[in-house]
């Protein structure tokens, strides 16, 4: 059941095996890590030892490839998310939190931080959302002001992954009529973090408080006022990898449901052959393979040209995360009361599937954007 119907090229199969080996290695403490409010030290040590984080950094700064390969990241996330949401997030955020720096950062700042990202010597974060701003980033209240050969960042970022644990953050703020991305080290004077929120699938999550944080001008990432282009480039590269993570989670849920229903009898037959259960299991398999095929196709396209493939990546993200929600819900249903046990694998996967339909572009926001593209094509 774990074999995909789509054959990856040999290099990616080897990468998949490496990621699966890491997933097996963390299994003894994955349940504990998935309930953690802060980065689990054992998980960090295992991920660092695996060397996989060099996939999210350009080769010039200690990475594995000349540029970040979206298909490689997607394949790895599929394997990691099947075992631990904490591990998947820790891996993914090294790329999401540093990609803009690799593309648009000053040479001195890239040389200081990116080699540490590649080895997990430094934890990265991306700070976009605010207490009153989620998807509508053009209403950001955080400001970036130029002061001689420095910039000053002031504002409050909320619901930031790795908030309070990261060593640096790429912070998006308003500057004049545009928006600027700035690298803010966690140790900068005027910076502090708090942890006022937690979600149904525990996550390393925090709020960032920037009280006139003064930084050298070379900490501006990309041209001043053009920060949105770097945020878009980050999404174009990494959004499709969420689809990979969703496929991995869904596959884990189906595997667990299959083990349970094939090994438990009711009315003299295995539950897997009872009533609607066979159809529910088979439907989940169909949906997983459809999601996996689209995820791989979109990720391969994003590896070649992330921006040109953004619509396809968005489709893959919506399709896979929505499918994962349905698959894990069926898994709970066919397992009956055993699917409801707190602390069980299915319960953990059930909670983990829900946020996927919201972060990195909610289903509704993405579908609205895709609909606009459809209409634009019609009008042209």
Report, as an integer, the average pLDDT of 311-338. Answer: 97
DSSP 380: -
Q: Give me the mean pLDDT over the 225-243 stretch.
A: 95
Q: Following DSSP, what letter does each residue of 23-52 receive, concatenated?
A: HHHHGGGHHHHTT-SS--HHHHHHHHHHTG
- 376 phi/psi in degrees, rounded to 5: -65, -40
The three-state secondary structure class of 348 is: helix
Q: 70 near 241, Cβ under 8 Å? A: yes
To the nearest whole number, what is the mean pLDDT of the chain?
95
As a whole number, mean pLDDT of residues 199-217 equals 96
Q: With H, G, I as helix, E, B as strand and everything else as coil, classify residue 263.
A: helix
The fraction of the chain above a pLDDT of 70, given in percent, is 98
Band of the pLDDT at 134, cuts 50, 70, 90? confident
Instruction: Provide the pLDDT for residue 326.
Output: 98
Work out the pLDDT band at 273, boundaries 50, 70, 90: very high
What's the whole-number mean pLDDT along residues 83-105?
98
Sorted by sequence, the CB contacts under 8 Å of residue 66 that are 6+ apart come out as 58, 59, 60
As a whole-number percent, the residues of the chain with pLDDT over 90 amount to: 92
4 pLDDT higher than 50:
no
> What does the buried/exposed string (b/e) look like for 226-257 if buried means 16 or more CB atoms within 10 Å of the residue's CB?
bbbbbbebbbbbbbbbbbbbbbbbbbbbbebb
Is pLDDT of 10 > 70?
yes
In this prediction, residue 74 carries a pLDDT of: 98
In which band, very low, low, confident or very high, does the pLDDT at 147 lie, cut at 50, 70 and 90?
very high
135 CB neighbour count, 10 Å cutoff? 15
Confidence bin at 78 (pLDDT 50/70/90): very high
pLDDT of 3 over the 70 cut: no
- Residue 192, classed as helix, strand or coil, is strand
Q: What pLDDT is attached to residue 299?
A: 97
Q: What is the pLDDT of residue 346?
A: 96
| Domains of the chain: residue spans and CATH | 10-119 (1.10.540.10), 124-225 (2.40.110.10), 229-379 (1.20.140.10)
**pLDDT at position 6:** 57
For the chain, what is the radius of gyration of the CA atoms? 21
Question: Does residue 2 have a pLDDT over 50?
Answer: no
Average pLDDT over residues 203-217: 97
pTM: 0.95
As a whole number, mean pLDDT of residues 127-134 equals: 91
Question: Per-residue pLDDT for 335 more than 70?
Answer: yes
Tell me, what's the pLDDT at 380?
62
Checking if the pLDDT of 355 tops 70, the result is yes
pLDDT in tens, 279-309: 999 999 999 999 999 999 999 999 999 999 9
pLDDT above 70 (res 5): no
Distances (CA, A) of 288 to 152, 316, 329, 360: 47, 12, 13, 20
| Least confidently predicted of 108-117, 143-152, 182-191, 267-276 | 267-276
Residue 20 has pLDDT above 70, yes or no: yes
- Angstrom CA distances, 138 to 7, 9, 35, 176, stand at 41, 41, 33, 12
């Amino acid at each position: 059941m774990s074999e995909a119907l789509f054959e990856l090229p040999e290099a990616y199969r080897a990468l998949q095996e490496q990621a699966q080996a890491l997933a097996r290695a963390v299994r003894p403490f994955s349940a504990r890590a998935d309930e953690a409010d802060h980065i689990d030290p054992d998980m960090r040590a295992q991920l660092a030892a695996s060397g996989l984080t060099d996939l999210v950094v350009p080769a010039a700064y200690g990475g594995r490839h000349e540029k970040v390969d979206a298909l490689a990241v997607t394949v790895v996330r599929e394997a990691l998310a099947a075992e631990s949401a904490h591990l998947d997030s820790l891996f993914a955020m090294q790329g999401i939190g540093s990609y803009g720096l690799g593309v648009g950062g000053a040479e001195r700042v890239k040389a200081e931080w990116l080699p540490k990202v590649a080895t997990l010597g430094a934890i990265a974060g991306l700070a976009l959302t605010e207490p009153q701003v989620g998807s509508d980033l053009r209403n950001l209240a955080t400001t970036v002001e130029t002061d001689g050969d420095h910039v000053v960042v002031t504002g409050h970022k909320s619901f930031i992954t790795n908030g309070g644990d990261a060593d640096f953050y790429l912070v998006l703020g308003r500057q004049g009529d545009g928006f600027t991305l700035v690298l803010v080290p966690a140790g900068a004077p005027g910076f502090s973090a708090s942890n006022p929120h937690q979600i149904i699938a525990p996550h390393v999550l925090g709020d960032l408080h920037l009280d006139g944080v003064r930084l050298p001008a070379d900490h501006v990432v990309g041209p001043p006022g053009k920060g949105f282009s770097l945020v878009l480039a980050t999404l174009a590269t990494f959004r499709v990898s969420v689809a990979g993570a969703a496929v991995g989670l869904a596959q884990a849920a189906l595997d667990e449901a299959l083990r349970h229903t094939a090994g438990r009898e009711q009315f003299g037959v295995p539950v897997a052959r009872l009533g609607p259960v066979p159809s529910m299991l088979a439907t989940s398999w169909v949906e997983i393979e459809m999601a996996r095929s689209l995820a791989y196709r979109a990720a391969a396209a994003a590896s070649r040209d992330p921006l040109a493939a953004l619509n396809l990546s968005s489709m893959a993200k919506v399709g896979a995360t929505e499918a994962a929600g349905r698959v894990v819900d069926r898994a709970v249903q066919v397992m009956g009361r055993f699917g409801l046990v707190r602390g069980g694998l299915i319960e953990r996967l059930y909670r983990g599937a829900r946020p996927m339909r919201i972060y990195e572009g909610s289903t509704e926001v993405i579908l609205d954007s895709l609909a606009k593209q459809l209409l634009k094509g019609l009008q042209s």
